[in-house]
Chain A
Amino acid sequence: MNVQQKLEILADAAKYDASCASSGAKRKGNGEGIGHSDGMGICHSYTPDGRCVSLLKILLTNFCTYDCVFCVNRISSDIQRARFTPTEVISLTLDFYKRNYIEGLFLSSGIIQSPDYTMEELIQVAKTLRTVHKFGGYIHLKAIPGASELLIKEAGLYADRLSANIELPTQHDLVQLAPEKKSTIIESTMNQILTRKEEADEDRRKSPQAPKFAAAGQSTQMVVGATSASDRDILTTATHLYGQYKLRRIYYTGFSPYPAADARLPLKATPMMREHRLYQSDWLMRFYGFTASELTTPEAPDLSLTEDPKTTWAKAHPEFFPVDVNAAPREALLRVPGIGYRNVERILSIRRYHQLLLDDLRKLHVRIKNALPYLITVDHLPNRQTIAHESQLNAQLDLFAPVSALTGSV
């Protein structure tokens, strides 16, 4: 089998992993090899599924001893198998990088022989790229759950980012669909990465010469829609993982059918909108001060597919609004539908010198239609009835409720 055929098989097998980001690690050009990253991440192309191509994302091999039902590479799947040699992956990475096709390498693998053996193979590629070729581009390695702590430590020396995949939102789902995987083992690998990273960061505070460890932190991914787990379950797991292991990102991959899938799986792809709503909620949790429990309710555990989660929350909380754009604190502004994180920063900066009018918000590209019922500007006072009506709650609004203390409005 030639490199091109292997590439076709092993890139095809890697396409179900959502993460392809190359952001979060600044690496200066070292003058000895090719490669640098300015920390922003660059997408060099886009595929017709709308996803960006930033990294050479491949598996070292799609042979796998595990039998995870949702996975195309499971042992019982009737697919064509291939295996790259580390040298082949290294040349591909360097050749593509030199032509400015990619930002670096995202290397994952089916589990062969044992987690340790697989991890060693992945490390060898990254180590050769960094030490022999002085490669300065981005490297994302999969941390194989259950691999030994020493190997995880070594992997972080060469990789910008490590990720151990949680795979499915709940332990129950894992038992059903990925019997060889245990959330405890996956999480202990995450914990090893966290511990080592904190040690390394501490060392670097003492001496800038101390080696970096996975500068872009760790991420994980979970498949959504292969099981009946609700968005509430998913967001709860996400909160737990962000809190416990300081993950930089969680990727949600909507389940999509693939050739020769197990008959127990759904035949249709999870709506892309569900994935989108989860990312929106994830964003709200990380940057907007929302908690998972606010975004769904036990009665309606799934996010709306037709309405963004911030608007859903706003409709259910008329007591919080309206928010005065010219006086409210950051935390309150962040909760107004239609105003994004960057615009909150700009509003806070502008209002020190200039009283904001509705037209000003328009200039900032605030989504006025969404935001109008929830905010006060110098020339706009919303009709409180509208909010009450929209929320479909008939709660009496108290003019003297302590809301004003929070929103700063009268």
Chain B
Amino acid sequence: MKRISLEPDFNTWRDAARDALRLGYRPEEIDMQDATVLNTLDLALETSDTPTGDPITTPHTSKAFLESAKFAAVHRDPQRWNLLYRILYRLQANRNLLKISVDPDISELERLESQVRRDLHKMHAFVRFRMVLEPGDPNARPIVVDESTPTEPEPHHLVLATPTPFGLSRTELPHCDPDPNATPTPSQPDTCEHFIAWYQPDHRILPLAAPFFAERFSIMRWTILTPDASVSWDPVSKQLAFAPGLPRESAPAEDELEDLWRSYYASIYNPARLNPDAMRSEMPVRYWKNLPEISLLPELITKSQSRVSAMVTTQQQQPSAQPFVPAEHNLTAIRAALPSCKGCELYKHATQVVPGKGAGHAKLILVGEQPGDQEDLQGEPFVGPAGKILDRVMNELNIDRSKIYLTNAVKHFKFVQRGKLRLHQNPRMSEISACRPWLLAELDAVHPHVILCLGASASKSLLGGTFALMKDHGKILETRYAKQVVATIHPSAVLRARDKESGEKLYNFLRDDMAMAWQAAQKPVLTSV
């Protein structure tokens, strides 16, 4: 058995393999050892180390084999050189060997290749650069010292100096001489920013990985440190420079952007879909030490459950007036019960609750949005400026206010205090829903032929959150609350109109829709059989 020791370098193996083929070594007669692995098993059960095979002077290889071999060569498996030689030898007799994935040698080659490819892919993904020098601030970073040597007084002679247990570790960084007269462009930034990453790949892939970073970050000055080797990129000369490996401590400890990145990481994750196993299968724990966001993981995971339950509880415990609504739906009972309502937060600030008012068995019921300032003070619906508009419409149409019933979708005034002014605020969807049981009780008590909704809030309360008022106003719609529901604009819209012309247009909408609703209310209701 002939033993040779090979450095971890594909070309070294290639030369050795070519020699061995020429001399006629059969795979079982030669042992190509990995020089980086200490070999104590030199059990010299020496047989002869003379080759017995036929010399092969013009060996056949294929592109596919060389491609796979290039990847397998950087694998740390100590047997890879022997494997590659065995396959190369067998390829001479069987040129289709590589296509037979189920052959033990080929399947082993494929295994090594795919592990290296995966390692490479993960390195592309998980290298994290940290910026070590900002423009104009060479002293800001403790780990980079700006040394000038007597022989070479460069303005930025950067040395990465790191205290390690074995003394100060020094790494020379490429020079950076920004031209002070040049105007900075994205391609020629006027900075000496240097990005440094530390990474520990499973295999010796740095030379295979470096071109990827060179292309991607071609205008950046960067260095990647690994325990086996390090590589730096000079954006001006467009050259990669390889140097010996360095321990982790040589790299910067953090980057100023890491907090921002952690914020993103925490926010983009959906706690309702917690699945840490899926995460671990794609991002095994051995990569975690390099990733700044991992420090958040324990908290994100443990809090997921409670965040989801909190969301569900909020959704279930939406405010509702239901517990305060009397069982018996008549107007007297409703009026009596209303002042005690604490169904949502609005009762806290309003002066009083504003119940509906009008005929007990009115054929038409008008539902507004919410009491305003005047209504809140007087305790009656539609007594403020909007009420005046309503009165004008009813006068024109000859509708007696006492023949109909007027109420609001929300029974308490909502406002913000601005000095002495109380500015009306639109109720939220959740407040409209909370108050709906009161409205339904009133509808049940009055039992009108027609419901006329004034404005978007009332319409949405009875016709659904997606009802489009301006498109569908004035149409008779059937809902589960009444056979005939009509929606129109709120009288206050007339007051808020931009100019006289649009005010008149809105007023006409209101009048026409109300006229239509009033007429419909006079007709007997057709009850379906």
When the two chains form their complex, are residues A267 and B315 in contact, meaning their CB atoms are under 8 A apart? yes
Enumerate B405-422 residues with CB–CB distance to A below 8 Å.
Answer: none
Q: Mark B200-230, 1 if CB is under 8 A from A, else 0.
A: 0000000000001001111110000000000
Picked from B99, B100, B187, the residue with its CB within 8 Å of the CB of A134 is: B187
When the two chains form their complex, are residues A33 and B186 in contact, meaning their CB atoms are under 8 A apart? yes
In addition to A57-B268, A95-B260, 9 A-B residue pairs with Cβ atoms within 8 Å of each other are: A7-B263, A7-B267, A8-B266, A15-B269, A34-B218, A42-B121, A44-B126, A258-B311, A354-B103
Across-interface contacts of B306 in A (CB, < 8 A): none
Across the A-B interface, give the 5 residue pairs with the lowest CB-CB distance, nearest first: A50-B278, A47-B269, A50-B275, A29-B215, A11-B267
When the two chains form their complex, are residues B130 and A257 in contact, meaning their CB atoms are under 8 A apart? no
Question: Do A31 and B219 contact each other (CB < 8 Å), given the known contacts A16-B270, A96-B257, A99-B130?
Answer: yes
Enumerate B108-144 residues with CB–CB distance to A below 8 Å.
Answer: 121, 124-131
Shortest beta-carbon distance, B417 to chain A, in Å? 21
Q: Mark B51-84, 1 if CB is under 8 A from A, else 0.
A: 0000000000000000000000000000000000
Shortest beta-carbon distance, B118 to chain A, in Å? 12
When the two chains form their complex, are residues B267 and A259 in contact, meaning their CB atoms are under 8 A apart? no
When the two chains form their complex, are residues A99 and B216 in contact, meaning their CB atoms are under 8 A apart? no
| Identity of the chain A residue whose Cβ is nearest the Cβ of B307 in the assembled complex | A259
When the two chains form their complex, are residues B99 and A47 in contact, meaning their CB atoms are under 8 A apart? no
Whether, in the assembled complex, B479 has its beta carbon less than 8 Å from a beta carbon of chain A, the answer is no
When the two chains form their complex, are residues A50 and B282 in contact, meaning their CB atoms are under 8 A apart? yes
Whether, in the assembled complex, B276 has its beta carbon less than 8 Å from a beta carbon of chain A, the answer is yes
Shortest beta-carbon distance, A287 to chain B, in Å? 20
| Identity of the chain A residue whose Cβ is nearest the Cβ of B291 in the assembled complex | A45
Whether, in the assembled complex, B197 has its beta carbon less than 8 Å from a beta carbon of chain A, the answer is yes
Question: Do A3 and B255 contact each other (CB < 8 Å), given the known contacts A35-B216, A69-B465, A263-B318?
Answer: no
Whether, in the assembled complex, B423 has its beta carbon less than 8 Å from a beta carbon of chain A, the answer is no
Whether, in the assembled complex, A67 has its beta carbon less than 8 Å from a beta carbon of chain B, the answer is yes
Point out residues on B near A: beta carbons under 8 Å: 96, 99-103, 107, 121, 124-131, 186-187, 195, 197, 212, 215-220, 255, 257, 259-261, 263-279, 282-283, 291, 293, 297, 300-301, 304, 308, 311-312, 314-316, 318, 428-430, 433, 465-466, 468
When the two chains form their complex, are residues B282 and A98 in contact, meaning their CB atoms are under 8 A apart? no
A78–B319 CA distance with the chains assembled, in angstroms: 13
| Identity of the chain A residue whose Cβ is nearest the Cβ of B102 in the assembled complex | A360
A136–B187 CA distance with the chains assembled, in angstroms: 12
Whether, in the assembled complex, A43 has its beta carbon less than 8 Å from a beta carbon of chain B, the answer is yes
Picked from B96, B129, B315, B430, the residue with its CB within 8 Å of the CB of A257 is: B315
When the two chains form their complex, are residues A33 and B187 in contact, meaning their CB atoms are under 8 A apart? yes
Across-interface contacts of B197 in A (CB, < 8 A): 100
A15–B268 CA distance with the chains assembled, in angstroms: 5
A95–B256 CA distance with the chains assembled, in angstroms: 11
A352–B97 CA distance with the chains assembled, in angstroms: 11
Shortest beta-carbon distance, A298 to chain B, in Å? 30
Shortest beta-carbon distance, A125 to chain B, in Å? 15
When the two chains form their complex, are residues B264 and A56 in contact, meaning their CB atoms are under 8 A apart? yes
A363–B468 CA distance with the chains assembled, in angstroms: 62
Whether, in the assembled complex, A46 has its beta carbon less than 8 Å from a beta carbon of chain B, the answer is yes
Question: Do A31 and B218 contact each other (CB < 8 Å), given the known contacts A57-B268, A257-B308?
Answer: yes
Question: Do A256 and B279 contact each other (CB < 8 Å), given the known contacts A36-B215, A69-B466, A101-B128?
Answer: no
Across-interface contacts of A269 in B (CB, < 8 A): 272-273
Whether, in the assembled complex, A397 has its beta carbon less than 8 Å from a beta carbon of chain B, the answer is no
Q: Mark A92-135, 1 if CB is under 8 A from B, else 0.
A: 10011011110000000000000000000000000000001110
When the two chains form their complex, are residues A76 and B429 in contact, meaning their CB atoms are under 8 A apart? yes
When the two chains form their complex, are residues B264 and A76 in contact, meaning their CB atoms are under 8 A apart? no
